[in-house]
Structure 1
């Protein structure tokens, strides 16, 4: 019976891992949580649109692995008091794309992402990271 359910609903272990990931992210301090959520949004948008263009991450289990690594990075940063900008660097787009490159199919990063919606997502990520940084009080002086 569980085989039938998994065929209809998908891999239940991946769904459990996803719920656990979401619970972990909710425990982060607000600024770190906002940064993670912004990165997740950018990464999923990059993956969804990247699939047709570049063959990026297309499997749910791989995406959950990617998000879990992202959560671990920000959990450590929050615990150590590392400012958000130190985590993502000066260019959050580069940080996200480098993280994604560990999980994506070879060659995806050589493609240009030229769609106006993509630009909007890039701007949204940069703006949200800046807001989270300011909210955290870790803006460099």
Structure 2
């Protein structure tokens, strides 16, 4: 990994964080809980999963849904489903 890769990675992360900060407060709170859970579990697909969740949340906001309508009452169960989906369906993280 060269310096350009590191810089590009930081640029992508900052853009991702900006997307999250643009979400309504309840979505941001749930996203941070999801992020904490996924950082603890540590799936290798994390760089693909988090942007997928951001996109999923943006679609939920655009559709006028509450975050709990999207993920259900259990954040951990939602995360486990996302991880299982990402392991069985390449490129489908967060959907």
Larger Rg: 1
Q: Which runs of 5 or more structure 2 residues have no equivalent in the other structure?
A: 89-95
Structure number with greater CO (CA < 8 Å, separation at least 6) is 1
Number of equivalences:
88
CA contact (8 A) 1:18 1:64 kept: no
CA RMSD of aligned residues (A): 2.2
Separation (CA, whole Å) in 2 of partners of 1:31 and 1:90: 13
Q: Which runs of 5 or more structure 1 residues have no equivalent in the other structure?
A: 48-55, 106-141
Number of the residue aligned with 2:40? 45
Separation (CA, whole Å) in 1 of partners of 2:36 and 2:54: 13
CA contact (8 A) 1:21 1:68 kept: yes
TM-score with structure 1 setting the length: 0.54
TM-score with structure 2 setting the length: 0.77
2:72 aligned residue (83, 89, 106):
89
